[in-house]
């Protein structure tokens, strides 16, 4: 059974035709004030994932807002993404992210610490052979802790850290 998401909460957006060559399956983009530096909402249909890629000279932040998905760095174990998961991906780290096999998946994304000359390098696809080795829905539906991966934070903890930093200014 496929887990649906409520597109009235986070818009599905338009088919991501411009970057379709870097995805397996369909993804959709809904800009949320992106022209002013705001985040982009990215929706993945079940099994959709982007290719391995690297963000040069910038940090990508992912905030899962609906459904279930995956994030994986090259050479490391995959990380479950559920609503509330926040991942900051350092510059120069090869990674991919996408939906679980039986769930739609939505994340907000934005770039920070963007240096001059920042770019994306799109690499090889995440093959079905690799993707099909991911744990099943019973694992990612479980109540696994959101914290425990070096750059994975509970969203509330992330907000508290930012608030604390702002108070010190």
Q: What is the mean pLDDT of each run of 10 residues along the chain (169 residues)?
A: 86 96 97 81 97 97 96 95 96 98 95 95 96 73 41 46 51
49: enclosing H helix or E strand: strand 49-50
Answer whether 131's CB lies under 8 Å from 47's CB. yes
**Residue-level pLDDT at 109:** 95
Instruction: Give the DSSP letter of residue 48.
Output: -
Structurally, what CATH architecture does the domain formed by 14-168 represent? Sandwich (2.60)
140: enclosing H helix or E strand: helix 137-141
Q: Token pair of 83, please?
A: 């609503």
**Residue-level pLDDT at 149:** 37
**Residue-level pLDDT at 34:** 65
Q: What is the largest CA-CA distance in the chain?
A: 49
Q: Token pair of 64, please?
A: 């899962």
The dihedral sign for the CA sequence 100, 88, 76, 154: negative
**Residue-level pLDDT at 142:** 47
**Per-domain residue ranges of the chain:** 14-168
């Amino acid at each position: 059974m496929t887990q649906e998401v409520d597109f009235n909460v986070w818009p599905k957006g338009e088919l991501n035709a411009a970057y379709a060559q870097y995805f397996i399956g369909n993804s959709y983009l809904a800009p949320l004030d992106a022209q002013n530096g705001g985040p982009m909402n990215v929706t993945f249909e079940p099994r959709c994932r982007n290719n391995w890629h690297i963000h040069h000279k910038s940090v990508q932040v992912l905030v899962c807002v609906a459904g279930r998905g995956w994030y994986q760095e090259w050479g490391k174990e995959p990380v479950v993404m559920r609503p509330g998961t926040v991942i900051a991906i350092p510059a120069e780290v090869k990674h991919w992210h996408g939906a679980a096999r039986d769930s739609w998946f939505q994340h907000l994304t934005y770039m920070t610490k963007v240096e001059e000359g920042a770019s994306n390098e799109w690499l090889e696809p995440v093959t079905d052979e690799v993707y099909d080795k991911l744990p099943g829905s019973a694992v990612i539906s479980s109540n696994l802790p959101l914290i425990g991966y070096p750059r994975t934070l509970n969203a509330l903890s992330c907000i508290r850290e930012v608030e604390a930093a702002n108070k010190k200014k």
